[in-house]
Amino acid sequence: MEELTIHITEEQKGERIDKVISAIDEEWSRSQISNWVKDGHIKVNGATVKPNYKVRLEDEIAINPPLLEELDAEPENLNLDVVYEDEDVLVVNKPKGMVVHPAPGHANGTLVNGLMYHCTDLSGINGIVRPGIVHRIDKDTSGLLMVAKNDLAHASLVDQLVEKSVTRKYIALVHGHIAHDKGTVDAPIARDPKERQKMAVVDKGKHAVTHFTVLERFGDFTLVECRLETGRTHQIRVHMRYIGFPLAGDPKYGPRKTMDIGGQALHAAVIGFIHPRTKEYLEFSAPLPTEFEELLETLR
């Protein structure tokens, strides 16, 4: 497995190395990253550093996490909705209800199971537990994901995520009447100190920015397009709740009395990125799932 290499930007300089790297993958804890630094799995400009090292502009950080335990999952023909594919990248439209990668309680029927059946040439940077996975969307969120088919593509796509140059637009139905047509939520997100199964806006959390535009109003509900500037866990769900407009159907962040629609009304509608090899900007869109469209029709 090749190393994942990132270069420090102006915005990141001065931050601790564990904080910078934890922003790449939400499942990498800062304590875990500190151990990797101590064990030499992470190097700066080819040299080992201490876990409290503060990064400098244009530092080259090489990340080579230890291999994860063997994945006990088999390829499955899940008839994935592949929107685009070439030798380097793949864009897939994930259905609502599908988990992205295997985890306790979800060893089968995941996107990774489907990808393992669809193609054998997936990147190995994330280890064998999550081959090809560059970023994730929640189980009950539908829509577009980019997948890396080799390590070169994986490193490039991760760099673009870190640099916030990937276009990610979501369609969400929220509770409440949003009077203004556009807005931005700039509020840090971290694990909720009171409910560890949730994320929340926390003063010392990770920088998180969501831009939203109202698409349609339905009295007690509003349809919005949310554009992610950052990609924190549950970011849209947390941010919209924070400003008083939680997502419809959201069992974790929504109001007690919300729609029974099997999870949050959220769809990853657009994704755009620079192709790792050709350097051409590619952008893809996926229409709302039928059940989402039918929900909107009932509101109309």
**Among 116-120, 201-205, 261-265, 270-274, the range of highest mean pLDDT:** 270-274
Residue pair 204/192 in contact (Cβ under 8 Å)? The answer is no
How far is C-alpha 247 from the geometric centre of its chain's CA atoms?
18
Question: Is residue 32 very low, low, confident or very high in pLDDT (cuts 50, 70, 90)?
Answer: confident
Q: Given this model, what pLDDT does residue 25 score?
A: 62
Q: Given this model, what pLDDT does residue 215 score?
A: 98
pLDDT in tens, 145-181: 999 998 889 989 989 998 999 999 999 999 999 999 9
Residue pair 131/151 in contact (Cβ under 8 Å)? The answer is no
Q: How confident is the prediction for the chain on average, in pLDDT?
A: 89
pLDDT in tens, 58-83: 899 998 877 654 556 688 899 999 99
Q: Given this model, what pLDDT does residue 280 score?
A: 97
Question: Is residue 121 very low, low, confident or very high in pLDDT (cuts 50, 70, 90)?
Answer: confident
Domains annotated for the chain, with CATH where assigned, are 4-63 (3.10.290.10), 70-299 (3.30.2350.10)
Regarding predicted confidence, which is higher, 169 or 193?
169
Round to whole Å and give the CA distance between 141 and 292.
Answer: 11
Which tokens go with 129? Answer: 């537990």
Which tokens go with 141? Answer: 């969120």
Mean pLDDT over 125-145 rounds to: 83
Q: Which residues are catalytic?
A: 138
According to DSSP, residue 47 is labeled: B
Residue pair 107/99 in contact (Cβ under 8 Å)? The answer is no
Q: Given this model, what pLDDT does residue 28 score?
A: 67
DSSP 91-153: EEEEPTT--SS-BTTB-SSSHHHHHHHH-S----TT-TTSTTB-----TT-EEEEEEESSHHH
Residue pair 4/158 in contact (Cβ under 8 Å)? The answer is yes
Which tokens go with 56? Answer: 């400098």
Mean pLDDT over 49-58 rounds to: 92
pLDDT greater than 50 at residue 139: yes
β-strand partners of 167: 272
Residue pair 244/263 in contact (Cβ under 8 Å)? The answer is no
Q: Given this model, what pLDDT does residue 1 score?
A: 45
Residue pair 4/33 in contact (Cβ under 8 Å)? The answer is no
Regarding predicted confidence, which is higher, 68 or 123?
123
Regarding predicted confidence, which is higher, 20 or 66?
20
β-strand partners of 217: 222
Round to whole Å and give the CA distance between 145 and 111.
Answer: 10
Residue pair 121/149 in contact (Cβ under 8 Å)? The answer is yes
Instruction: Tell me which residue of 224, 232, 172, 179 sits closest to 201, measured CA to CA.
Output: 232
Question: Is residue 106 very low, low, confident or very high in pLDDT (cuts 50, 70, 90)?
Answer: low
Mean pLDDT over 46-50 rounds to: 93
pLDDT in tens, 239-289: 999 999 999 999 899 998 899 898 999 999 999 999 999 999 999 999 999
